[in-house]
Amino acid sequence: MKVLVTGGAGFVGSVCCEQLLAVNHEVVVLDDLSTGHREAVSDGAIFVRGDFGDAKLVRDILREHAIEAVMHFAGETLVEKSMTDPRSYFENNVRKSLTLLNSLLELRVDKIVFSSTAATYGEPVATPITEDHPKSPINAYGESKLMVEKFLEWYHRAYGLRYASMRYFNAAGASRQLGEAHNPESHLIPRILKCALDPSQEFVIHGDTYPTPDGTCVRDYVHVLDIAQAHIQALIGLSTQRCQGAYNIGSSAGHSVRQVLRAVEEVTGCKLKVRVGPVRSGDTAVLVASCDRLGKDFGWAPRVSSIREIVQSAWDWTQRHPNGYGLSNVEPVAAWRL
């Protein structure tokens, strides 16, 4: 299949491209490199530097490359920033996504897998969280993703667009070649690993008074390779089945910040300096997924999402890439097989 991947130079998008290529799909990456890395785009993918909100550019790509489906990862993702600058989230995540969808309609591309988030749920009223859980986002990031999900449902009803909104929980881990290199880094595991690389650094826990067993936030960490496989299986499913809609991607297991810290210390052999800081605005106490629907509709199950496997893969990548992209060794890519 010929697939356009927006945001394909970012963390999850780049790994999805890597795995699409490994199972012989044709990939075109569209990314403005505002937060992504050109070095993260796999050999074999066609790279176009540009804005997914540029309607003419998107239409030209769809025509020139005879695109059959889209994986849409591009957009703003920082929860904390969304609380202080919501305008950029509604501009980049909502308005530009609408422009993208209209271009798909015009060129008759009828399949899209959308990178959504567990932040659409807000504070959980039941755990584990199913896709039918009430949606009450407590930050602009989650609200912006939920708005795009609503667009997709209406475009399906009115125009026959086939879609899967993938609400993944905490993406983590690394493939052999590709890992996390955000600036600034907001994700928990790579932030802790930076401290393991330099034991003089202090790791700050954002609050320890949450209603959880040890007072720190509990999250469902899912390996980026499992996320990539879920996207690929959904893409194939949209072509062969009637199944569609919103799907959780997680491990169905929760780990607190302190539990992740212990896992990092065990994997790295480093004793970390830790202190407790203030709570961050927009953080929920517990987010743990039920992934039964994704398994039922597309036959997906997490395969490498134990916290030990996640931390080990991320640590291996971090040691090979202590300064992020551009200064790393290159290794062959192994396909993620069903």
Q: What is the rounded CA–CA span in Å between residue 217 and residue 170?
A: 12
3-state secondary structure the chain: CEEEEECCCCHHHHHHHHHHHHCCCEEEEEECCCCCCHHHCCCCCEEEECCCCCHHHHHHHHHHCCCCEEEECCCCCCHHHHHHCHHHHHHHHHHHHHHHHHHHHHCCCCEEEEEEEHHHCCCCCCCCECCCCCCCCCCHHHHHHHHHHHHHHHHHHHHCCEEEEEEECEEECCCCCCCCCCCCCCCHHHHHHHHHHCCCCEEEEECCCCCCCCCCCEECEEEHHHHHHHHHHHHHHHHHCCCCEEEEECCCCCEEHHHHHHHHHHHHCCCCEEEEECCCCCCCCEECECCHHHHHHHCCCCCCCCHHHHHHHHHHHHHHCCCCCCCCCCCCCCCCCC
Active-site pick, 141, 155, 210, 221: 141
Mark whether 210 is an active-site residue: no
Q: What is the rounded CA–CA span in Å between residue 119 and residue 140?
A: 9
Q: What is the rounded CA–CA span in Å between residue 269 and residue 289?
A: 30
Catalytic residues: 141
